[in-house]
Amino acid sequence: MKTIGEILLVAVCLQSSLAFQAPVTNTASFSRLSPPTSTSRHVSNDDKQVVSPISEAANNDDSNTPSAAPSSSSSSSSSPAATEPQEFRRVVDTRPPPTADQMMLALGTNPRRLLLGNLSAAGIALAGNFLGVTSKLLTAVPEEVVEKTSLDTYYPRGDFKRCRSRGYTFVIPKEWVADTFVELAKAQRRIQPLDYTMSGPGSSRQQQQQQPNTLPDAAYGPAGRLNSKGVSESGDTNVSVIVNNGLKGFSLMGTLGTPQNAAEFLLSRSIAPEGSGRVATLLNSFEDKDRNAYQFEYILDRGSRGPPLRNIAVIAGSTKGDAFYTLTVVAPATQWEKEAVSTKLRKIASSFHLTV
């Protein structure tokens, strides 16, 4: 019996030392997390008799030591919180997103206000040709349709805008402007000058006869610096229209003859008459039956007065035979060599036609 008691004492000492080396918290938490195995549930009676005294002795020794008990209890109480951190649990919002009506209600608006606001913004952008949007939209519409609506007189259609007057219409580049000198001369012609000399009723008529009879009805050209008379210094490039009224029975073929005969007659009598110091060379001439017009192209050499000019003239007669209209496109001969300039000038000539 003494030998067995010594063995038990040694076992208790070993168990105590193991308890201090491996804290109870680890075994407790581990045992709580992992379920007991089948072998731990089936223990023989002999094993119970041997193990129970040892565990009781170990528990007695643990209770005698004041520092071991608090540490084991604190560690055992903190282990569940470490294994189950519920304060970091992810929360998922399962509510449906707000609808469009709810968002508009939060912003203090409604579909009617949004529709009116968009329509107003679109109308302002189109009316003001914002960023050229109106001009781009007009290019998608045929030119004949836009001409009937007269929208191209207010908004450029592409690179051109339309000029419309009584009896005729044509297009010009959108950057061209009206000739202020011509408009001023037309205004002065419409106003009867006052006779301060009181020389008689025939004096005002004499003054009117001294004024030039040929005055363009319309003239346009690129913007440039103006001289003291208000005329653009880049006046070599322009387009003008001259209207001859008061005729009877006028017709292109019956009055002017063939296109070539008409061109040669105008060049020798009006444009470059003998003794004027100018020389006109006819390049081509043809009849445009769709517009009921003659068109011819020529070069005018002005000698020392300036560089040679290349011109296109279009003559169209009214259906009533009481007037004819002449459009002339003028530019220096060197400018016609540029494809971009030549395309614009020919577009002006081809767009001219009568509306009466």
How many Cα atoms occupy the beta-carbon half-sphere of 83 within 13 Å?
12
**Which pLDDT belongs to residue 67?**
45
pTM: 0.61
CATH architecture of 161-195+212-354: 3-Layer(aba) Sandwich (3.40)
Q: Which 3-state string (H, E, C) describes 175-198?
A: CEEECHHHHHHHHHHHCCCCCCCC
Per residue in 171-208, pLDDT tens?
Answer: 999 999 988 888 777 777 766 554 445 444 444 444 44
- Say which range, 180-194, 233-247, 341-355, has the weakest mean pLDDT: 180-194
Amino acid at site 233 = E
- In the chain, the percentage of residues whose pLDDT exceeds 70 is 65
Report the distance separating Cα 290 and Cα 144, nearest Å.
Answer: 14
Instruction: Kindly list the domain boundaries of the chain, sorted by start residue.
Output: 2-72, 115-158, 161-195+212-354
Q: Residue 281 — pLDDT band, cuts 50, 70, 90?
A: very high
Torsion of CA 315, 317, 318, 323, to 10 degrees: 90
When pLDDT is cut at 50, 70 and 90, the band that residue 132 belongs to is: confident
Ranked by mean pLDDT, the top range of 183-187, 232-236, 275-279, 312-316 is 312-316
Average pLDDT rounded to a whole number, residues 243-262:
90
Q: Could you say which DSSP state residue 159 is in? A: T
Cα separation, 41 vs 28, in Å, equals: 17
